[in-house]
Structures are given as C-alpha cells and as structure tokens.
Amino acid sequence: MGIFFKKMLKKETDNWGKGCILGFYAFLLVLFINQIYDFIFNNYLLSNFVIFSIGLGTAFVWSSILKFIKRKKPKEVKHLF
C-alpha cells in the first residue's frame, strides 16, 4: 500500500473507525425508515444507491469533522511556575 497511499496515523485510523460506526448506524436508520415507508405505502422511499451513499457519506463526513476538530484544538501551554 505504500506505493500510492501514505500510511494512516493512529488518530486517523481511530477517526475512520468512529466514522464507519456512525455511517453504519445511519445506514441502518435510513434502511429502517425505507422499510417502514414501504410497509405503509407499498412503495420504496429511497433507492438502494441512495441508502448506500448516505451511509458511506456519513462515514466520510464524520471522519473529516473529527479530523478538523483535532486540528482546531488549541495546544496546552506549559507554565514555568
């Protein structure tokens, strides 16, 4: 993997893991809403591609938000006294 991509840092790997978990839960929630809509109206609300995209997009966006928050945190100032 070192030919085309750089190795991820530990914090980046942790952020991606958290993003995947949130994306999975978003995927399940949207899938549940779609099934309830189908049960009530006998028609699907969203296509399979849209449901998959919502889950994947949520994972990428949450991972990026965590990365952005980490960059914006001020560093601790060490006092001499």
pLDDT (tens place) for every residue of the chain, 81 residues total? 567 788 888 999 999 999 999 999 999 999 999 999 999 999 999 999 999 999 999 999 999 999 998 887 766 666 655
**Token pair listed for 5:** 């991509």
Asked whether the beta carbons of 66 and 29 are under 8 A apart, the reply is: no
Give the sign of the dihedral formed by CA 76, CA 79, CA 80, CA 81: negative
Q: Is 79 inside a domain boundary?
A: no
Q: How far apart are CA 21 and CA 14, in angstroms?
A: 11
Domain-embedded: residue 3: no
Query: What's the number of domains the chain is made of?
Result: 1
Range of the domain at 42: 22-71
Q: What is the pTM of this model?
A: 0.77
In a domain, 78, yes or no: no
Tokens linked to 23: 């994306």
The answer to whether residue 65 sits within a structural domain is yes
Note whether residue 77 is domain-resident. Answer: no
In a domain? residue 8: no
